[in-house]
A and B are shown apart, each in its own frame.
Chain A
Amino acid sequence: MRVANVLKLANVLVTSQLRGSGRGRPATSLLSRPRVLLYVDLAGFVGPFGLLLVVLSRLPPGVDVLLGDLTVQALVGLPVFMTSTLLLIGVLWEITAPYRSTSSDTVNWLPLRPSEYVLASTLSSVYTYSILLAIGWGATLSLALAFHMETLWVVSTLVSLIAALIGGFAVEMLRSLTNRVSSSFYRRGGRGVIAVRLILTVLALVVFQVIFNANLMLPLIQALVGAVNAFWFIPVLWPALLVQRLYQADLLGAAALAAAIPVFTALLFFAAVALRTRYWLPLPVSIRVTTAAYAPRAGLLGRLGLGSVEAAIVRKDLRSLTRRREMARFLALPIALLIPFALTFSSLSAEPAERVIFGLPLIVPLLALFSLILAMTSIGQEGQAVLNLYVSPISSSQVLRGKLLSSLLVSTPFNVAIAALLLAVGGVQTDLFGAFIAVTLSLTVESAFLGLAVGCWEPDFSEGPRTRFVAMKGWMIGQLAFWAAALASEAPVALYLYSRSLVGTIGLQLPVAVAVTLAVTALISGIAYRYAAHAATRLLQELRT
């Protein structure tokens, strides 16, 4: 392995990501250089460290015991958090490079070894998201200093870095595996296999994400701190276990784990290299979708009264969603988010109906998130082919309507079906059933409007690896706006439910609460649409790619 090549490639991958989302920014700008992440990391380290140091110095006596336990949990939990987060991010962004950039990627025809690529790609992922490490290290250092756990902190720091690499290697494995699914099916061709490929890809993403999900890991970590030996057989937990053993002064156990962790990490690396060697480089082979002769049809959308432009955009976007590998993550996301949540709630001791009533105000925004992400990425996912929209004699409002319908046609049935399923399983009363369906529907629509506004405002048309379809700034603004809007919209219904469960009625009637929620969502949707219309007009005025 040539280390210089690895470092150069890692540098290029990080640079590509930075510049991909920094449209119009000059290459010489500090923000376009990988070095900027070092400064961000430094701030991420110093900020929490200083803040916690100040807070700890002002705490009243007696809180020490609680904080001491928290410090141990944080030091033990940091490695697990890093592995699961790297994988979660991997599922979201890393594994799904667009077809074109994978098949014609420069790295495929440069004399690079698979091992060099895997290591470089993993390093670049870890470096890109190193802010998480920096914050974790900074926060735990102040705690460790306060409770004299400096040695434990050093070990936790080292193993959390290794844990991040473990997450990175797992992402590389997943990347090759999903690629294998695509390639093998592309070779055989046919509409049916597109569906099978999609289902397999979504399943792979869901399974990997659920296995490493922090929500599921949290009870494990808590149990781990209490019952040291229970999880020794899970290699992903070994870094956390090592910190725990050291804390309990089990030096022999710690030494064994210290020896086993590099072996496990190396095995993961070699597995990732083997998978890449075998399954990389998708073949640009054609797939035949139909053998039928071309016969233009108005289709269902046309019969529903949609204009030809809007209907064409909807048809194209639905095909995009079901045929593009990089879109599979969006279909996997809501399922992957819901499963751990549903598992957590199913383990509560309350009655099924109470569990659903308690959980739904939290689950509905998660469902609406699906709608937000679909709409938010709907503009950027056009990629360079957005030129087709620019050269067409269509108005920005036609594009907007088409995109909105594309997102809603997918997210609405899914969200309503899941909500209805949960309500039916919980056996909730009819009035609550109707209320929650209405709330789910309105939040789904509201989120689509919000997503579209952000997607039009900050689209990312780049087609390089790790494309997000929406600029980082837009992604963050979108998330903030979404949670704020969801909170405001759901507040009346949530207030009604929780007050009824916890303190009895407070005079708020369910129909009133639902009506206020609907009014708030309508208001937010209206505002978001105005922003979206303005942004779309601005966007389509001049080619930006």
Chain B
Amino acid sequence: MDDRGAKPEQTLALEAEAVSKSFGAIRALNNVTLRVPPGQVYGLLGPNGSGKSTLMKTILGLIRPDSGAVAVYGLSVDRDPIAVKRIVGYVPESPRLYDFLTGVEYLDFVADMYGLGQAEKKERIGEFLTALDLEGRENDMINGYSQGMRQKLTITAALLHRPKLLIFDEPLNGLDPKSARIVKELLHKLSQEGVTTIFSTHVLEIAEAICHRMSIMYEGQVLAEGTIADLRDKAELPGSTLEEVFLKLTGTVDLREVVEALAK
């Protein structure tokens, strides 16, 4: 995709400067620097354990970096975490919901956490329940929801307060094709309205289709960053797919031996 949505003259939506984080002997983030202008859908790609989720949690202030600094729309995550959370919507990799609440009670709870007014709560919750096909199940307790329904609820909760920055960790997990399409279109529309999205996925076709720019992470480091064209140049694979670029940059090109071993 092109570089639309980028407005470099404005305050950056996200600025992560030399961020490092270790868990014991494991270096989860190693000197990661990212700058994302407002209005972009920014992809974080990388194999399992490459540090994507840790980086996302660090951006939201859920994990404190050992060194480096993160700012969201100019607000320091370290100094003003509550102000940052007010303008961020987060979808974790695995939804963590209160199973004993109904869908609508959960959304009501989240809306109260963000201080939404009664009228706004009703309007926003109603809109999302209809759009994501949750209408009719909103009064059921969450412990009866399928994985997809939980994911829809999590996405709705992240969008209720009209955040300026979305942090979506594998948001399309478990969604049916219609809902996945709605979410993708929604991200596109929000991007045009100036909302920034940091988006992680293992489905490279999706990243290729909706991300303006992306980073490929590996072992806590950013291996390459830019548009798909930039990444192809970096991998020296002109005209190739994102999957080929990804596998080359992460050093996992020849998978035949692995497949043969597994097939035995």
A312 to chain B, nearest CB (A): 4
Closest-by-CB residue of A relative to B64 is A542
Instruction: Evaluate contact between A319 and B100: CB separation under 8 angstroms.
Output: yes
Instruction: Evaluate contact between A393 and B113: CB separation under 8 angstroms.
Output: yes
- Given contacts A319-B100, A319-B105, A391-B62, whether A296 and B144 have CB atoms under 8 Å apart is no
Chain A window 270-303, contacts with chain B (Cβ cutoff 8 Å), 1 for yes, 0 for no = 0000000000000011111111101111100000
Instruction: Evaluate contact between A289 and B85: CB separation under 8 angstroms.
Output: no
A384 at the A/B interface (Cβ < 8 Å)? Answer: yes
Instruction: Evaluate contact between B139 and A385: CB separation under 8 angstroms.
Output: no
Instruction: Evaluate contact between A542 and B100: CB separation under 8 angstroms.
Output: no
Contact of B82 among A295, A308, A320, A393 (CB under 8 A): A393
A386 to chain B, nearest CB (A): 8
List the one stretch of B34-42, B115-123, B237-245 in contact with chain A: B115-123
Closest-by-CB residue of A relative to B123 is A296
- Given contacts A296-B108, A296-B122, A298-B118, whether A286 and B98 have CB atoms under 8 Å apart is no
Closest-by-CB residue of A relative to B24 is A26
Instruction: Evaluate contact between A296 and B96: CB separation under 8 angstroms.
Output: no
B74 at the A/B interface (Cβ < 8 Å)? Answer: no
A33 at the A/B interface (Cβ < 8 Å)? Answer: no
- Cα separation A542 to B101 with both chains bound (whole Å): 25
B97 to chain A, nearest CB (A): 6
- Cα separation A230 to B114 with both chains bound (whole Å): 66
Instruction: Evaluate contact between A392 and B100: CB separation under 8 angstroms.
Output: no
Instruction: Evaluate contact between B109 and A315: CB separation under 8 angstroms.
Output: yes
- Given contacts A294-B126, A319-B101, whether A286 and B113 have CB atoms under 8 Å apart is no
Chain B residues lying within 8 Å of A385, measured Cβ to Cβ, are 96-99
B11 at the A/B interface (Cβ < 8 Å)? Answer: no
Instruction: Evaluate contact between B113 and A323: CB separation under 8 angstroms.
Output: no
Chain A window 38-66, contacts with chain B (Cβ cutoff 8 Å), 1 for yes, 0 for no = 00000000000000000000000000000
A8 to chain B, nearest CB (A): 26
B104 at the A/B interface (Cβ < 8 Å)? Answer: yes
Instruction: Evaluate contact between A297 and B118: CB separation under 8 angstroms.
Output: yes
B57 at the A/B interface (Cβ < 8 Å)? Answer: yes
A266 at the A/B interface (Cβ < 8 Å)? Answer: no
A78 to chain B, nearest CB (A): 41
Contact of B112 among A311, A319, A541 (CB under 8 A): A311
- Cα separation A385 to B141 with both chains bound (whole Å): 15
- Cα separation A99 to B145 with both chains bound (whole Å): 13
Chain B residues lying within 8 Å of A320, measured Cβ to Cβ, are 98, 100
Closest-by-CB residue of B relative to A286 is B144
B102 at the A/B interface (Cβ < 8 Å)? Answer: yes
- Cα separation A291 to B110 with both chains bound (whole Å): 21
Closest-by-CB residue of B relative to A320 is B100
Chain A residues lying within 8 Å of B108, measured Cβ to Cβ, are 294, 296, 312
Contact of B143 among A99, A294, A543 (CB under 8 A): A99
Chain B residues lying within 8 Å of A35, measured Cβ to Cβ, are none
Instruction: Evaluate contact between A312 and B109: CB separation under 8 angstroms.
Output: yes
Chain A residues lying within 8 Å of B110, measured Cβ to Cβ, are 388, 392
- Cα separation A312 to B97 with both chains bound (whole Å): 15
A147 at the A/B interface (Cβ < 8 Å)? Answer: no
- Cα separation A291 to B143 with both chains bound (whole Å): 17
B230 at the A/B interface (Cβ < 8 Å)? Answer: no
Chain B residues lying within 8 Å of A285, measured Cβ to Cβ, are 144
Chain A residues lying within 8 Å of B97, measured Cβ to Cβ, are 385, 388
Chain B residues lying within 8 Å of A384, measured Cβ to Cβ, are 96
- Cα separation A296 to B60 with both chains bound (whole Å): 28
Instruction: Evaluate contact between B118 and A296: CB separation under 8 angstroms.
Output: yes
Chain A residues lying within 8 Å of B144, measured Cβ to Cβ, are 284-287
- Cα separation A543 to B60 with both chains bound (whole Å): 11
Instruction: Evaluate contact between A294 and B98: CB separation under 8 angstroms.
Output: no
A387 at the A/B interface (Cβ < 8 Å)? Answer: yes
B143 to chain A, nearest CB (A): 6
Instruction: Evaluate contact between A287 and B140: CB separation under 8 angstroms.
Output: yes
- Cα separation A82 to B105 with both chains bound (whole Å): 44
Instruction: Evaluate contact between A542 and B145: CB separation under 8 angstroms.
Output: no
A358 at the A/B interface (Cβ < 8 Å)? Answer: no
Chain B residues lying within 8 Å of A284, measured Cβ to Cβ, are 143-144
- Given contacts A99-B143, A294-B104, A311-B112, whether A543 and B96 have CB atoms under 8 Å apart is no
Closest-by-CB residue of B relative to A543 is B62
A395 at the A/B interface (Cβ < 8 Å)? Answer: yes
B222 to chain A, nearest CB (A): 23
Instruction: Evaluate contact between B62 and A542: CB separation under 8 angstroms.
Output: yes
Instruction: Evaluate contact between A541 and B118: CB separation under 8 angstroms.
Output: no
Closest-by-CB residue of A relative to B119 is A296
- Cα separation A294 to B101 with both chains bound (whole Å): 14
Closest-by-CB residue of B relative to A292 is B139
B125 at the A/B interface (Cβ < 8 Å)? Answer: yes
Closest-by-CB residue of A relative to B111 is A296
- Cα separation A392 to B116 with both chains bound (whole Å): 12
A→B interface (CB under 8 Å): 99-100, 284-292, 294-298, 308-309, 311-312, 315-316, 319-320, 323-324, 383-395, 541-543
Known interface pairs A291-B139, A324-B100, A395-B82; 8 further A-B residue pairs with C-beta atoms within 8 A, sorted by A's residue number: A100-B99, A284-B143, A294-B126, A296-B121, A308-B115, A315-B109, A316-B98, A392-B113
B→A interface (CB under 8 Å): 57, 60, 62-64, 82-83, 85-86, 88, 90, 92, 96-102, 104-105, 108-115, 118, 121-122, 125-126, 137-141, 143-145
Chosen A-B contacts, 6 in total, with CB atoms closer than 8 Å, are A99-B99, A289-B141, A311-B112, A320-B100, A323-B100, A392-B113
Which 6 residue pairs across A and B have the least CB separation, nearest first? A286-B144, A312-B112, A392-B113, A393-B85, A286-B140, A393-B86
